């Protein structure tokens, strides 16, 4: 009887450990992806500032669109603990979190259009709004400083 209980406790500990490892993995995955999104922003900056052609930026926008479509799935409940700056506010209002992501996706769709047409002025205007408005609108309430 005691042996059986001991085994059960061991199995429980193994399960708990398994889910902690899964959480660490999803946190590492989303942080790596967000870092890549930051790199896209950095890479586009000099092009926009020098009035360069923006058509070549379309693949970066495409990667951002694909990645941000998958963002909500990288924030499963319980992934606010560990090596992360995600705030519990995300899961208190996940609908708002997703809507904020959708707003960014709407702006990215317009930027893709401008890039495809090599509309430098239109692209630059939207690029400048992207960080403070669309990234920042999510970071302010949902990411710890
Ligand atoms: C819907 C919400 C949301 C949107 C939109 C969003 N972010 Fe974030 N971002 C987060 C959260 C939450 C974190 C913290 C993630 C963590 O630490 O687990 C974060 C973290 C980051 C990080 C730090 C990654 C690291 O740990 O090194 C970068 C860089 C970043 N975001 C860039 C961007 C850029 C650029 C945009 C806009 C193009 C953007 N984010 C839009 C929610 C968002």
Each residue's pLDDT tens digit in the chain (145 positions)?
666 666 666 555 555 555 777 899 999 999 999 999 999 999 999 999 999 999 999 999 999 999 999 999 999 999 999 999 999 999 999 999 999 999 999 999 999 999 999 999 999 999 999 999 999 999 999 999 9
Q: How far apart are CA 142 and CA 145, in angstroms?
A: 10
Q: What's the sign of the alpha-carbon dihedral 65, 66, 72, 78?
A: negative
Domain boundaries, the chain: 26-142
| CATH number for the segment(s) 26-142 | 1.20.120.10
44 close to ligand 1 (CB < 6 Angstrom)? no
Which residue's CA is the nearest one to ligand 1's atom 30?
Answer: 34
Q: Which atom of ligand 1 is nearest to the CA of 27?
A: 18
Cβ–Cβ under 8 Å, residues 47 and 102: no
pTM flag (> 0.85): yes
């Amino acid at each position: 009887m005691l042996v059986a209980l001991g085994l059960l406790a061991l199995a429980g500990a193994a399960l708990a450990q398994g889910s902690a490892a899964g959480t660490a993995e999803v946190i590492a995955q989303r942080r790596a992806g967000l870092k890549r999104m930051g790199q896209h922003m950095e890479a586009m900056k000099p092009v926009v500032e020098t009035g360069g052609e923006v058509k070549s930026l379309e693949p970066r926008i495409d990667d951002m669109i694909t990645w941000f479509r998958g963002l909500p799935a990288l924030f499963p409940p319980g992934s606010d603990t560990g090596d992360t700056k995600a705030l519990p506010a995300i899961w208190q209002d996940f609908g708002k979190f997703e809507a904020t992501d959708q707003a960014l996706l709407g702006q990215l769709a317009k930027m893709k259009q401008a890039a495809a047409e090599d509309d430098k002025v239109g692209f630059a205007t939207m690029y400048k709004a992207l960080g403070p408005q669309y990234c920042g609108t999510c970071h302010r309430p949902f990411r710890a400083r």
